[in-house]
Amino acid sequence: MSSSKQRRLFRVYPRKEAEETYRKACDGIKSVLFCDEDVAKYLLHAYGANVNKINDAYFGDEEKTKRRLGLLTEDEEREAEKTDVLKLALDVGKQRESRRGSRTRAKAKEQEEGDRIPCGICFEDCAVQELATAFCRAHPFCKECWGGYCDAKFQDGKAEILDVRCPDPGCEKRVSTEMILRSLGDAEKVEKYRKYELEHFVESNQSIKHCPAAGCDHFLILENKDGLSPDQIQSCECACGKEFCWNCQEDEHIPVRCETAKSWVAKNSSESENQNWILTFTKPCPKCSRPIEKNQGCMHMTCSQCRHDFCWMCLDPWGKHGERTGGYYSCNAFRVEDPSNPKKTSEKEREVNEKKRVARMSIERYSHYHERWIQHQESEKRARADLKILKEKKADQVGRNHGAGPGEMSFAILAQEQIIECRKLLKWTYAHAYYAYNEEDLKNDWKKTNPFTGTSKVMQQEKEFYEFVQGEAENRLEQLSGKMEKDLDDFYNFDYIDYAKGIEFKQQKEANGDQETAPELKTPLSKDNRPINFKGDRSSFQEFKRKVCELTSLTRTSFQSLSDEIHKGFGCVGEGTPPPSAMKDAGKTHRRSSNAMDLS
């Protein structure tokens, strides 16, 4: 499925609507399970907002579910009610004061505070009102320590602050949301905590995603009416214009898999190619083997580590190039390595040369695919800029020049949007080819499990067919781009006055007959001092529209076929699939027919 069709599977809504969805989900759990709001939130977060899983877990084994969430079971609740340390301490204080009889104001306050209890963190004796416990009601801590504890969890990130447990090492009971917010205190932190709750609900819900664009507060909900699996859905677009992959939330990378896209992006941004550069453009010191880069013109090299003098060209000691040995120019002659005489080339030199050869091939291969990936990425950016100009002024101007109605120029906008989508897809086909068809890595474990690889000969055949299909799609795209970039400009710059002058000039030439006997006529120029464009009449515009519509359809079909084949495992030869050689022959036939349909 194309990216444009996949985007129709989603609905974008703002944060307020997401908060309303979260609230309704909590209310639904509360009404079914007859629990408080905290328990409903814990269940939603723990079971991925899946109501069926929540009901199965809660009604299947309520005690096990509560222990997993850090809540008290019914038996633990009854026991905690009896052994509540803060309540017992307050009762003891009241009983002591009632026995004393008379009550001063200070004594009344002591009675209300009850016994002083040491905090479990700072060990300071505190009044009961200055202490609090988690759901366990067994381990009291002062408000100051609670504040520091919750703030530390807040600094540790979303996962920690949304799963705060009792600070006592042997206790795993939860801390209520109300106490967490009271301990955080700061309004900004409280707001961020609420934001964390919503984000966690969204992240745990497989049908909702938060837009990854910086500063965007929109959410996308999956309305998968086509019954696609999550692996089949790669493209979605937010109201802010951000296009990203639904699975990995990175930039859209249809048609390649998330793993391939991540590997390619990491390779482009990492320093992994530096080692290959060193092997390709440096030479090891013949004595200490340290890599050396030549930074001056003279061939006389001195190693900065071991001070060994040698020749950059042949790596022999510089002493052999002296006047006495006649060796000044001996390294300019080409010599073929004699395998029967290993003395001429040491094993170490052969190993170094092989590494350099492999490294150079690796860089050249990577540069080939990366250069084309970059070029199509830049073309995509330019196509987006052209689409903006087309929508803002060019479409209306062309329509006015040629009598097109308000909706008649929609074909040009659709064509430009198709160019953008195809540029995106085309650049990722080069990343796919880089990893799928690499003969140097056939021995790697990754290649053994890769469905695109086989024996070297079969893989080469598959690679050639892949490049043929890729080239056919790219050819269609270039034809369409040429029409939209060059021909559309001619219709945009069309001027009736200039066109009338040109027609008059043509008529004068026809009236004068043969050019040799006709009097000299001055060729008219447009008001911009350019040759007059004769492709601006209505019939030319209708022909241009027909060709653009046809090319748009052909381009869409070519790229959709390429994308679908890559998703299926392009190049895999299975039952009912013609061998690569037959597929190549069919491709040649198709190429002959497609050339006959060239619409440029």
3-class DSSP string for 56-103 = HHHHHCHHHHHHHHCCCCHHHHHHHHHCCHHHHHHHHHHHHHHHHCCC
- The model's confidence at residue 144, banded by pLDDT at 50, 70 and 90, is very high
- CA separation (Å) from 1 to 22, 29, 254, 413? 31, 36, 10, 21
Longest CA span, the chain: 138
- Residue 376 near residue 427 (C-beta atoms within 8 A): yes
- Which residue in this structure is represented by tokens 């140097």? 440
pTM to 2 decimals? 0.63
Average pLDDT over residues 305-314: 81
CA 161 – CA 418 distance, rounded (Å): 46
Could you give the count of Cα atoms lying within 13 Å of 272 in the half-sphere of its Cβ? 11
pLDDT at 142 over 50: yes
Average pLDDT over residues 6-17: 76
- Residue 199 near residue 217 (C-beta atoms within 8 A): no
Residue among 192, 92, 103, 96 nearest 151 (CA) = 192
Point out which residues pair with 243 in neighbouring strands: 237
CA–CA–CA angle 367, 371, 375 (5° rounding): 175
- Which residue in this structure is represented by tokens 């990203």? 244
Average pLDDT over residues 513-517: 50
Amino acid identity for residue 191 in this structure: E
Point out which residues pair with 117 in neighbouring strands: 126
Lowest mean pLDDT among 61-70, 144-153, 563-572: 563-572
- The model's confidence at residue 310, banded by pLDDT at 50, 70 and 90, is confident
Amino acid identity for residue 30 in this structure: K
pLDDT given for residue 444 in this prediction: 46
Percent pLDDT > 90 in the chain is 17
Average pLDDT over residues 118-139: 90
- In tens, the pLDDT along 542-592 reads 888 899 999 999 999 999 888 888 877 764 433 333 333 333 333 333 333
- CA separation (Å) from 200 to 42, 99, 157, 193? 11, 53, 12, 10
Helix (H, G, I), strand (E, B) or coil at 481: helix
Q: In whole angstroms, what separates CA 159 from the centre of its chain?
A: 23
- Which residue in this structure is represented by tokens 């299926």? 568
- Residue 386 near residue 353 (C-beta atoms within 8 A): no
Residue among 409, 387, 414 nearest 399 (CA) = 409
Q: Which residue has the higher pLDDT, 415 or 101?
A: 415
Helix (H, G, I), strand (E, B) or coil at 525: strand
pLDDT at 292 over 50: yes
Amino acid identity for residue 76 in this structure: E
Average pLDDT, the chain: 76
pLDDT given for residue 506 in this prediction: 59
Cis peptide before 255 (omega within 30 of 0): yes
Residue 51 corresponds to which tokens in the numbers above? 């109501």
pLDDT at 467 over 80: yes
- For the chain, domains (ranges, CATH) are 81-173 (3.30.40), 402-494+533-596 (no CATH)
In sequence order, the 6+-apart residues with CB closer than 8 A to the CB of 80 are 72, 135, 136, 137, 138
